[in-house]
Amino acid sequence: MPQISPAYAVGRVRVLERTLLGSSQLERLMAVQTVEELARALVEMNWAEVRGRADIERMCGRHTQQAAQLVRDCSSDPQLTDCFLIQYDALNLKVLYKAKALGEEAALSDMGTLEPAKLRQAVEEGNYRELPRELAQAMEDIERHSAVKMDPLYVDAQLDKAAFALIANRMKGCKEATVKQYFACKAELANLMIALRSAAMGRGAAFAGALFVPGGELKLEQLAQVVQDPQRAWNLISQRPYGQALKAAVKEGDLPAIERAGDDYLLSLVRPHRYEPTSLLPLVGYLLARTRESQVIRLLATAKAAGAGQDKIFARLRALY
């Protein structure tokens, strides 16, 4: 087996990056009118052998799962790269707990750091001792809170906070400045959206406060003020690294545009490191690229099936890697 090193990971990524979709290919996919035309275009681009929407969905899942597996196989620093996969562990726990409460089967993601079978057994038995401390504490809290009735929002909030807490604790020992900035900004952007959405729903600061995630430098009391007065959002983030990227959307109060600009900013942090020969950032970038590519393809398939216009598609479309 080859020695696992950043250089080895970069070599693997260089070969696989040739199959990523580019901007000209995205323009072509945008121009098609139906899901069937979208599938034919993807086949012609050698993206995948797909015939319809169900095939497209399966291939999107396969592409991202293969990228996650590459990260697990090639990373010389799992403490760092696993942080980009922890969200899927939290997602699996959400799905499993809700399915258990409803007496349903749960379809799980293979993209996390923890084996789905292990998570399934933990939830079935209500025994979380082998999970990372942050996730275990969240699940134990959810069990207590749901003794009478399961609250889906509470389940989501507790596991989101646990995932961000786990990442924040790992970032304390991280020496890669770009990764630390990525997750600090990710937490801040998540909290900004929680504050603005809570305000749009007419919910108070207490409601948002129960949802805010740890990480970043924005103070929770400042975010609570945004819930009370969304006009304060720009003053709050104007000096943050992502401020200018979000400026227009924040000043217009356009929530989908704010979220899109935030997602694109996070990707822009990793993109400049794409060709570094001895860094793990190209490996991380490939995972983010495949994830973003699949999100875009899924969006296009949904939009074409619904007959959505180009303007509605553009409003939700994220930038590719």
Rounded to two decimals, the pTM is: 0.94
Hey, is 255 helix, strand or coil? helix
**Which of the pair, 1 or 308, is modelled with greater confidence?**
308
Averaged pLDDT for residues 257-272: 97
CB 96 within 8 A of CB 116: no
Report the Cα 195 to chain-centroid distance in Å.
19
pLDDT digits (tens, 9 = 90+) for 141-159: 999 999 889 999 999 999 9
Give every CB contact of residue 290 below 8 A, 6+ residues apart in sequence: 20, 63, 64, 66, 67
The Cα–Cα gap between 53 and 35 comes to 6
pLDDT band per the 50, 70, 90 thresholds, residue 308 = confident
pLDDT digits (tens, 9 = 90+) for 74-132: 999 999 999 999 999 999 999 999 999 999 999 999 999 999 999 999 999 999 999 99
Mean pLDDT of the residues in the chain: 95
Dihedral sign, CA of 157, 108, 128, 133? negative
The percentage of residues in the chain with a pLDDT greater than 90, rounded to a whole number, is 91
pLDDT digits (tens, 9 = 90+) for 37-76: 999 999 999 988 999 999 999 999 999 999 999 999 999 9
The Cα–Cα gap between 310 and 286 comes to 28
Take residue 63 and report the two structure tokens written for it. Answer: 């592409």
pLDDT for the residue 317: 87
Residue of 151, 210, 189 lying closest to 265 (CA atoms): 189
pLDDT for the residue 3: 55
pLDDT for the residue 274: 94
pLDDT for the residue 240: 98
pLDDT digits (tens, 9 = 90+) for 237-260: 999 999 999 999 999 999 999 999
pLDDT digits (tens, 9 = 90+) for 161-195: 999 999 999 999 999 999 999 999 999 999 999 99
The Cα–Cα gap between 306 and 297 comes to 14
CB 143 within 8 A of CB 154: no
Residue of 110, 83, 91, 115 lying closest to 281 (CA atoms): 83
Give φ, ψ of 184 to 5 degrees: -65, -45
> Element (H or E) spanning 158, and its range?
helix 152-171
pLDDT digits (tens, 9 = 90+) for 133-142: 999 999 999 9
> ∠ CA(241), CA(258), CA(178), 5° rounding?
30
pLDDT for the residue 1: 41
